[in-house]
Amino acid sequence: MLRHGLLAASRSTRVRDLITRAPGTREVVRRFVAGRSLEAALVVARDLVSSGLRVSLDHLGEDTADRAQADHMREVCIAALGALNVAGLTGGAEISLKLSSLGQALGPDGHRIAHENAAKVCAAAAAHGTTVTLDMEDHTTTDATLSVLRELRVDFPWVGAVLQAYLHRTEADCRDLASAGSRVRLCKGAYREPASVAYQDPHDVNLSYVRALKVLMAGQGYPMVASHDPRMLAIAADLAARAGRNPGDFEYQMLYGVRPDEQRRLAGAGETVRVYVPFGEEWYGYLMRRLAERPANVVFFARALLSKG
Ligand SMILES: Cc1cc2nc3c(=O)[nH]c(=O)nc-3n(C[C@H](O)[C@H](O)[C@H](O)COP(=O)(O)OP(=O)(O)OC[C@H]3O[C@@H](n4cnc5c(N)ncnc54)[C@H](O)[C@@H]3O)c2cc1C
């Protein structure tokens, strides 16, 4: 119930205005978002990489409504890649992209615009020796995003995909994408989806996650296990060992600000661990999805609001 309410609020401009103006919001945002500027994100990325972690930098923004904004988002990503290169971080840091931020929703030309923008970002990543992963958004975009992924992989075979275990289709998508060299991030899924396409019960989502993970670990690709759930992490380790995978043949991924001790523990044990680091002004939708995931985050948020109110 609370999750559905928060996810609905993530699309409401009225609630957004209320929350962005609330006095304690800044403190909560700081916990999950590296900063408003690229410079702030670079400081966090350098810190994480120097402590043995990897990074996927995400310039916040989604549902871009005009071409100029889509092109601007592309340029920020290209600038971020250039800055990572200058900072000597491209060995440990890549970029995550939301196609809706690059113009995917811009009517009949949206697919072409998002593809062209993403291809330019991929070309910059290739020039700097790093990679790109395409985030997955709500289920109405899954086919379009996988289609852009396939087109991008013709020139840039290392482009990463994201699959969401809450969707009924995901086990089959894992089979399609478990080919040699295919980088696939498996997450549970963060959007509000109808029962016609997605499991609603968290237990069913977990079962689906494990089925999908089995396919990815047994396949030829490079699984990226995106979860903070201790049970999913333990099952991933077990499946990787059974599939004869060593540390480095797959990786764990977690969000900035979530279970940082576990991130460091896994990296200290020799595992590859990548932290998803969002930055930028458009933090509202991202923050609401984080609050929806965990009641404790809502309590933290409420406390911050009250203490400043
Ligand atoms: C790197 C990364 C990239 C992602 N990319 C996408 C994407 O492209 N598209 C998309 O839809 N979603 C994405 N997500 C979000 C994802 O779909 C989930 O919404 C999110 O990761 C929460 O799911 P979970 O697996 O951590 O488990 P949950 O079911 O949220 O949590 C399970 C358990 O994990 C532990 N846990 C969770 N959070 C905390 C915490 N803050 N502190 C301590 N313990 C905690 C608790 O034990 C909890 O019971 C991404 C997630 C990650 C980590």
Q: How confident is the model at residue 305 (pLDDT cuts 50, 70, 90)?
A: low
Cα–Cα distance between 268 and 119 in angstroms, integer?
35
Q: 253: Cβ below 6 Å to ligand 1?
A: yes
> How high is the pLDDT of residue 26?
76
- Which residue's CA is minimally distant from atom 40 of ligand 1? 258
Q: Which of 13-22, 23-32, 170-179 has the lowest mean pLDDT?
A: 13-22
* Ligand 1: centre distance to CA 268 (Å): 21
Q: Name the nearest CA neighbour of 57 among 34, 75, 73.
A: 34
Pocket test for ligand 1, best of 200, 291, 293, 299 (most atoms within 8 A of CB): 293
Atom from ligand 1 closest to the CA of residue 135: 8
Share the mean pLDDT of the chain.
93
> How high is the pLDDT of residue 300?
72
Q: Which residues, including other chains, have CB under 8 Å from residue 288's CB and lie 6 or more apart?
A: 6, 7, 9, 10, 19
- Which residue's CA is minimally distant from atom 31 of ligand 1? 229
Q: 286: Cβ below 6 Å to ligand 1?
A: no
Within its chain, how far is the Cα of 155 from the centroid?
A: 22
pTM, full prediction? 0.93
Annotated catalytic residue 192: no
- Which residue's CA is minimally distant from atom 17 of ligand 1? 189
Q: Is the pLDDT of residue 309 over 60?
A: no
* DSSP designation for 142: H
Query: What is the average pLDDT across 247-263?
Result: 97
Q: Higher confidence at residue 143 or residue 2?
A: 143
Q: Is the pLDDT of residue 114 over 90?
A: yes
> How high is the pLDDT of residue 1?
64
* DSSP designation for 99: G
Q: Given the structure tokens 């661990």, which residue do they identify?
A: 273
Q: Is the pLDDT of residue 79 over 60?
A: yes
Q: Is the pLDDT of residue 60 over 60?
A: yes
> How high is the pLDDT of residue 237?
98
* Ligand 1: centre distance to CA 127 (Å): 32
> How high is the pLDDT of residue 75?
97
H/E element, 225: strand 222-226
Q: Is the pLDDT of residue 306 over 90?
A: no
Angstrom distances, CA of residue 222 to CA of 38, 175, 183, 252: 29, 13, 5, 11
CA angle 149, 153, 158 (to 5 degrees): 105
* Ligand 1: centre distance to CA 170 (Å): 17
Other CB atoms within a 10 A radius of the CB of residue 168 amount to: 15
Q: How confident is the model at residue 178 (pLDDT cuts 50, 70, 90)?
A: very high
Q: Is the pLDDT of residue 89 over 50?
A: yes
Task: Give pLDDT tens digits for 97-113.
Answer: 999 999 999 999 999 99
Q: How confident is the model at residue 157 (pLDDT cuts 50, 70, 90)?
A: very high
Task: Give pLDDT tens digits for 207-238.
Answer: 999 999 999 999 999 999 999 999 999 999 99
* Ligand 1: centre distance to CA 200 (Å): 16
Q: 257: Cβ below 6 Å to ligand 1?
A: no
- Catalytic, out of 185, 274, 289, 290: 185
- Which residue's CA is minimally distant from atom 25 of ligand 1? 227
- Three-class secondary structure of residue 223 per DSSP: strand
Annotated catalytic residue 185: yes
Portion of the chain with pLDDT greater than 70, in percent:
95
23: left (phi over 0), alpha (psi -120 to 50) or beta: alpha
* Ligand 1: centre distance to CA 68 (Å): 32
Q: Higher confidence at residue 17 or residue 265?
A: 265
> How high is the pLDDT of residue 63?
86
